[in-house]
Amino acid sequence: MDDLGFAVDVPGRVARVVSLVPSLTEAIAVTGPGLLVGATDWCVRPAGLDVVRVRGTKNPDLSKVVSLAPDVVCANAEENRKIDLDRLRAAGIPVWVTAPTTVDAALVSLERMLRHACGLARPRWLDAARAAWAAPYTGRRRTALIPVWRRPWMALGRETFAGDLLRRLGVDNVLADHPERYPRIRLDDVTTCELVVLPDEPYPFSPTDGPEAFAGTPAVCVSGRHLTWYGPSLVSARAVLGAQLATRLPDAWRNS
């Protein structure tokens, strides 16, 4: 069963995998070199990955995916469209869907995907990632708005992996109780946060594109890969994001 509870008819020996999600691509390629035969154009890690490209996460070239004759396609309920996954299933291709919304769930989901969908042994990097996130955060907590897009402005809402990851770093999402997971927002309506966290993906926020919209509120640009990807990046995500949050805040915040 994948994360959605669907039975996936994975063959006894898996030799050809297509990934439709950048973070899953990295996890599979690092754990089972040579196993991937296809990935999206956005799958940029590991560097130099030499596989057939099948367009994007939202518009995969399904005919090309089918032509690769994969033993399984690995996807994500949030990143990929259900209609595309259903069409692959209708073509007789097993599809394994991940859907974690917390760090703990991501670690379990990754192990299940790698072992059951890809036929791989539990990787050492997964143990390192679990160890990296084992200790609880004990410092001062801060409330934050976490935009993920602009034009229109959208932010993290309820039950998101990135929101849970930030919570483990002492940053509490002010929209954690919003009825939507990625609500559109009006900046005028968000006045209660102490901090704005701006990841460089999916929207490429940067020091010159984003912080200017939040005059008077500290804004921190962080690595989107370390905030939103679940895979080998989880090994270093806590240290990378912790350092970015600390070094880019005013001294009064950094020392508190």
For the chain, the structural domain boundaries read: 17-122, 142-254
pLDDT, position 106: 98
Would you say residue 248 has pLDDT above 80?
A: no
Angle at 176 between CA 172 and CA 182, to 5 degrees: 120
Provide the Cα torsion 81, 86, 87, 90; round to 10°. Answer: 170
**Please, which pLDDT band fits residue 95 given cuts at 50, 70 and 90?**
very high
Question: How much is the pLDDT for 249?
Answer: 58
User: pLDDT, tens digit, for every residue of 104-142?
Assistant: 999 999 999 999 999 999 999 999 999 999 999 999 999
How many CB atoms lie under 10 A from the CB of residue 200?
Answer: 17
H or E segment and range at residue 105: helix 103-112
Residue-wise pLDDT for 32-82, tens only, equals: 999 999 999 999 999 999 999 999 999 999 999 999 999 999 999 999 999
Region 17-122: CATH code: 3.40.50.1980
pLDDT digits 0-9 by tens, 197-224: 999 999 999 999 999 999 888 999 999 9
pLDDT tens digits along 224-240: 999 999 999 999 999 99
Q: What's the DSSP call for residue 122?
A: P
The more confident residue out of 232 and 256 is 232
Q: What is the pTM assigned to this prediction? A: 0.92
Count of CA atoms in the C-beta half-sphere (13 A) of 81: 10
Question: Which residues are bridge partners to 198 per DSSP?
Answer: 221
Tokens for 26, please give them: 């990295």
Which architecture does CATH list for 142-254?
Answer: 3-Layer(aba) Sandwich (3.40)
Average pLDDT over residues 163-167: 97
Tokens of 135: 């200790």
Q: How far apart are CA 161 and CA 54, in angstroms?
A: 26
Domains 17-122 and 142-254 share a fold: yes
Report, as an integer, the average pLDDT of 155-177: 96
pLDDT band at 188 (very low <50, low <70, confident <90, very high): confident
